[in-house]
Amino acid sequence: MNQLRIVVAGNICLDVTPVFPPSSDARALQHVIRPGSLVRLDGVDVHPGGAVANVGLAMELFGASVSFMGKIGDDVFGRMILDLLGGGGRPREEGGRALIVDPGATTSYTVVLAVPGNDRVFLHAPGANDSLGPADIDIELVAASRLFHFGYPPLMAAMYRNGGSGLVETFASVRSRGVLTSLDLAAVDERSEAGKEDWRAILGKVLPLVDFFLPSLEELAYMLDRPLYGRLTAGGTGDGHSLSVERDVEPLARMALALGAGVVMVKCGARGFYVATGDEGVMAGIRGKGGPAGSDWVARSRFERAFRPGRVRSATGAGDTTIAAFLVAALSGYGFERSCALAAATGASCVEDYGALGGLKPFAELEGKIDAGWERNDERYESAPPEVPHARDPE
């Protein structure tokens, strides 16, 4: 069988993660990082991040041939990314790092504060990502691939400005080549330029062009259900204790399907994720472009509980690597339920290391652990049956 060829495009940055010493008491972030104080660290983890690096490198580990498309600056951080990615000299037709180096831009970076006992805080500078537009996508290289995955448009000004015109143009061009499409989001800073855009309207225009849509619960709620978003992000209520699949998660997935997406994965952090697929007509169109062929992919919905990791160092990249495993499994002939399980297993493996890739394992090893009875995380929803009845919203 020919190697699976994928293009991963969008946001790329340098992730800088200070390593906080383990603590026997889980202290709130404000009690660890205080103005005027000195915080002792155990080192630092520096690695390429963003959707391009996290998803693309994970897909390579799972056996796909990946071409990377993103933009960096001609600066120290940009050179660090090229050095850490490696493979810069590989021919494009064999996959490789097709990154644009813009001498007039600075390289994006993110400082990840992963304080034990707290959710992560991201300090992000978009840099060159803001100028990546449709003209920067090598459409001929995309046309020679089976899947085009794009990540983090809320962090890329040229893609979200003017009602998402750049994002829509990009996906329309890819779709016209008969290539499968995949889209992931990122959190929107309400105080930023991106926060002024109508994201519900943007999704309404782009999702009819998207075969696989893979946002987080908070990202999708921000765009489609602001009251739910407020409850998720209110102090002390975002831990999932009061979250219901039927009331909160499933309706969001149905809305995304009704807007035109073919397969929707709503990532719910350490709790797991919910997946819903389209009807026979929708899935036949995806199948015709090289998507999942099995009948078990038609009109399915499932909440996949997360596996219990051996240790938790950082959740950085867990969502991206979960996506990578799901897409590669789905396009490599795995069934619906096994693809979900491999994605959940990958997310659990990812958090065992500070970087996105250090804890990842090949599918064969993950399958061995799954089949041996790998323990799942505790149930933390009001109601989350393994399989939830699913139907598309009426037109």
Whether 386 maps to a domain, the answer reads no
Q: Is 34 helix (H, G, I), strand (E, B) or coil?
A: coil
Structural domain range at position 137 = 5-28+42-371
CA distance 352 to 84: 20
Question: Chain centroid to CA 137: how far?
Answer: 19
pLDDT value at residue 86: 77
Whether 15 maps to a domain, the answer reads yes
Residue with tokens 């990009």: 170
Q: What is the CATH number of the domain that holds 291?
A: 3.40.1190.20
Percent of all residues in the chain with a pLDDT value above 90, rounded to a whole number: 69
Q: Which residues lie across from 183 on neighbouring strands?
A: 150, 213
Helix axis angle, 217-224 to 250-258, nearest 10°: 60
pLDDT value at residue 97: 58
Whether 130 maps to a domain, the answer reads yes
Q: Cα angle at 377 between 374 and 380, to 5 degrees?
A: 155
pLDDT value at residue 25: 62
Whether 383 maps to a domain, the answer reads no
Whether 152 maps to a domain, the answer reads yes
CA distance 112 to 48: 12
Residues of the chain with pLDDT under 70: 1-2, 24-26, 87-97, 235-241, 354-355, 379-395
- Helix or strand holding residue 171 (H, E): helix 157-176
Q: Give yes or no for a contact between 272 and 340, defined as CB atoms under 8 angstroms apart.
A: no
Q: Is 46 helix (H, G, I), strand (E, B) or coil?
A: strand
Output the six-digit token pair for 78: 């940009």
Output the six-digit token pair for 284: 């036949």
CA distance 29 to 212: 35
- Helix or strand holding residue 251 (H, E): helix 250-258
Q: Give yes or no for a contact between 255 and 203, defined as CB atoms under 8 angstroms apart.
A: no
pLDDT value at residue 93: 39
Residue with tokens 């499968």: 180
Whether 182 maps to a domain, the answer reads yes
Q: What is the DSSP string of 112-163?
A: EE--TTS--EEEEE-GGGGG--GGGS-HHHHHTSSEEEEE-GGG-HHHHHHH
pLDDT value at residue 365: 95
Q: What is the pTM of this model?
A: 0.88
Q: Give yes or no for a contact between 96 and 68, defined as CB atoms under 8 angstroms apart.
A: yes
CA distance 88 to 80: 12
Whether 146 maps to a domain, the answer reads yes
Whether 100 maps to a domain, the answer reads yes
Q: What is the DSSP string of 296-319?
A: GGTT-EEEEEPBPPS--S--TTHH
The tally of domains found in the chain comes to 1
pLDDT value at residue 178: 97
